[in-house]
Structure 1
């Protein structure tokens, strides 16, 4: 994948949990609720239809405000890669004001852990900058830490 520094944000981290467990966490609504947004924020609801064109909908609670995010999977490569976007919702309904496409990649690190890469691709450099200023690296880094901590409770 060729990243464009003008529109893309990405980071890679080693997570001390096997790929299969992280995949399960990212593809199961009850697990998403435990790591998907930085605490003290939360996910109040999550719906997943894990297939290309299937829904990935969340309702996040941020400081008491519910934020509905409807999206769709663009790519599902079992145990390796999830690509989802808010550009469309289920049945390819275009969104009025899309924000990003997320790419989550998992690779066995050879030591029982996972090389985890999270990428956010944006339509414009302004959207990318907004996301970085919102705290992409801290926020998505916190999510990765919460994912690791939560996965440990499932082992």
Structure 2
């Protein structure tokens, strides 16, 4: 995938959990609330219909404010790639002010772990800059740490 340095933010980490478990956590409404936003923020609700065009709707609590984030899945390649966006909502209804498209790439490592690459693609350099200034690298890094801690606690 060719990254655009003006509009794409991306990082890669090697995780000590298998791609199957990373995938399970990212694609289940049951698991998302345990890692998806940096603590102390919370996921209050998550509704997933795991199919291309299916909903990926989440409701967060951030500093006491309730935030709705509705989107759809664009690409689903089990245990390899998950792409979702808030550019559209279910039924391909365009969102009035989309923020990003997220791309998660998973690759198995020889030790049983996962090479995890998270990319956020934005419509403009301004949106990418705003996301970077909001703390993309720290925030998404915390999320992946929370994912690992949660997944390891599942005992699978």
TM-score by length of 1: 0.99
Q: Is the aligned partner of 1:74 residue 2:74? A: yes
Q: Deviations over 1:1-32 (max 9, x none)?
A: 11000000000001110110110000001100
Task: Name the CA distance, whole Å, in 1 between partners of 2:34 and 2:28.
Answer: 11
Q: Deviations over 1:47-88 (max 9, x none)?
A: 000000000000011011110000000000011000000000
Which residue in 2 is equivalent to 1:23?
Answer: 23
Which residue in 2 is equivalent to 1:106?
Answer: 106
Moved over 3 A (4+): none
Give 1:100 shift: 0.3
Q: Specify every segment of 5 or more residues in structure 1 that has no aligned partner in the other structure, as ranges.
A: none
Which residue in 2 is equivalent to 1:52?
Answer: 52
Give 1:110 shift: 1.1
Which residue in 2 is equivalent to 1:126?
Answer: 126
Q: Specify every segment of 5 or more residues in structure 2 that has no aligned partner in the other structure, as ranges.
A: none
Which residue in 2 is equivalent to 1:147?
Answer: 147
- Coordinate RMSD, CA, aligned: 0.5
Which residue in 2 is equivalent to 1:35?
Answer: 35
Task: Name the CA distance, whole Å, in 2 between partners of 1:130 and 1:82.
Answer: 23
Q: Deviations over 1:87-130 (max 9, x none)?
A: 00000000000000000111101101100000000000000000
